[in-house]
C-alpha cells in the first residue's frame, strides 16, 4: 500500500536527483535488492514509494556494499518528475527510513551524471580493534584482532599493493568483473590507542578485494607472513594462496569522488564519527 506524500508536490519534466546517505550495515543484506526485502536498496525504494506516493524509480548507487558493511556516504541517483526542495527530500525520506539509515543531502544533478560511472575513485576504510578482549560497545562497528600488530610491517606490505596490478589473488571466486586489473591509489595504515585504521582508494574495487587485502595485511602485521609475501601474491594471481577473507565488521564505504564540475558533497557528519574512532591521542 502506498502512503500519501508527506507534503504537496508538483510535477515537471523528469530530472535527475542525487542523494547522499549513510547506514550501519549490520542488519542489512548488503546494498543490492534481495528477495528478503532486507537490503539497503529495498528500504530506500520503500521510503521513496511512500514519500512520493508512487512506485519508486530505478536507483543507481556509487558502490555496492556487502552484507554487514557500513557506509559513511553512499551516493544514489534516480530520475523523477516530482519537484521538491532539497530539504523536503531529506526530511521526507528520513521519516520513512529505518533508524540505521539517514539521508544527509539531496540535490539536482546534470542529466548525464551517473552515481557509478561518473565516480573517479572510491574510498573505503577499515577500523580494527587490537585487543585480547573481544568488542562489546563497538561490536559490529570494528574488526577484531587479538594478536599485537606491527605498524611498520603492515605499512610496508600496503605500499606494495599501490599501483596498477592484477588483483586476482584478492578477488572473490564469485567476482563478476571482466578484468582483475585495478589501480590502487592509496593504501595507508594508522593507529590510535587500540584502534587501527586502514584507508584504501582506487578507481574501482573487485568483489571482496578490500576484505581479502586486509586479511593479508593482518597476517603480515601479526608476524605470520613477511611484507614481501604481498609481492608473491600479486605475481601468483591465485586467491587460494592468500589469507582468508576478513570479516565485514569495521569496513566502511567512505564514498566516491567525482570531478569538481559535478559539485557532489564528499563528506557527511558520519565521517566525523569514524574519524573520532581513530583520533590522534
Cell numbers 582508494 correspond to what residue? Answer: 201
Q: Taking Cα atoms as reference points, which of 105, 81, 68 lies closest to residue 16?
A: 81
Mapped to the 3 state alphabet, what secondary structure does the chain carry? CCCCCCCCCEEEEEEEEEEEEEECHHHCCCCCCCCCCCCHHHHHHHHHHHHHCCCCCCCEECCCCCCCCEEEEEEEEEEEEEECCHHHHHHHHHHHCCCCEEEEEEEEECCCCCCCCCCCEEEEEEEEEECCCCCCCCCCCCEEECCCCCHHHHHHHHHCCCEEEECHHHCCCCCCCCCCEEEEEEEEEEEECCEEEEEEEECCCCCCHHHHHHHHHHHHHCCCCCCCHHHHHHHHCCHHHCCCCCCCCCEEEEEEECCHHHCCCCCCHHHHHHHHHCCCC
Q: Which residues does the annotation mark as catalytic?
A: 66
Q: Taking Cα atoms as reference points, which of 6, 259, 253, 254 lies closest to residue 109?
A: 259
**Terminal CA-to-CA distance of the chain, rounded, Å?**
52
Amino acid at each position: 500500500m502506498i502512503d500519501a506524500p508527506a507534503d504537496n508536490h508538483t510535477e515537471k519534466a523528469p530530472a535527475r536527483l542525487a542523494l547522499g546517505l549513510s547506514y550501519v550495515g549490520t542488519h542489512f543484506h548488503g546494498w543490492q535488492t534481495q528477495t528478503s526485502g532486507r537490503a539497503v536498496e529495498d528500504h530506500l525504494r520503500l521510503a521513496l514509494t511512500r514519500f512520493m506516493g508512487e512506485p519508486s524509480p530505478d536507483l543507481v548507487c556509487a558502490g555496492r556494499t556487502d552484507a554487514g558493511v557500513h557506509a559513511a556516504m553512499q551516493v544514489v541517483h534516480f530520475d523523477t518528475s516530482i519537484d521538491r526542495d532539497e530539504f523536503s527530500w531529506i526530511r521526507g525520506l528520513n521519516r520513512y527510513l529505518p533508524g540505521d539509515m539517514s539521508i544527509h543531502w539531496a540535490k539536482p544533478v546534470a542529466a548525464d551524471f551517473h552515481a557509478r560511472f561518473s565516480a573517479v575513485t572510491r574510498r573505503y576504510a577499515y577500523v580494527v580493534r587490537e585487543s585480547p578482549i573481544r568488542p562489546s560497545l563497538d561490536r559490529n562497528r570494528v574488526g577484531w584482532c587479538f594478536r599485537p600488530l606491527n605498524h611498520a610491517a603492515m605499512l610496508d606490505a600496503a605500499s606494495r599493493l599501490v599501483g596498477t596490478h592484477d588483483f586476482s589473488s584478492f578477488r572473490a571466486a564469485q567476482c563478476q568483473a571482466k578484468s582483475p586489473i585495478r589501480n590502487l591509489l592509496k593504501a595507508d595504515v594508522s593507529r590510535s590507542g587500540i584502534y587501527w585504521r586502514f584507508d584504501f582508494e582506487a578507481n574501482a574495487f573487485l568483489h571482496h578485494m578490500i576484505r581479502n587485502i586486509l586479511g593479508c595485511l593482518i597476517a603480515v602485521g601479526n608476524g605470520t607472513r613477511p611484507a614481501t609475501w604481498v609481492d608473491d601474491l600479486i605475481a601468483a594471481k591465485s586467491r587460494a594462496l592468500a589469507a582468508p577473507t576478513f570479516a565485514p565488521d569495521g569496513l566502511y564505504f567512505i564514498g566516491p569522488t567525482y570531478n569538481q564540475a559535478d559539485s557532489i558533497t564528499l563528506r557527511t557528519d558520519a565521517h566525523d564519527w569514524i574519524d573520532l574512532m581513530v583520533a590522534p591521542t
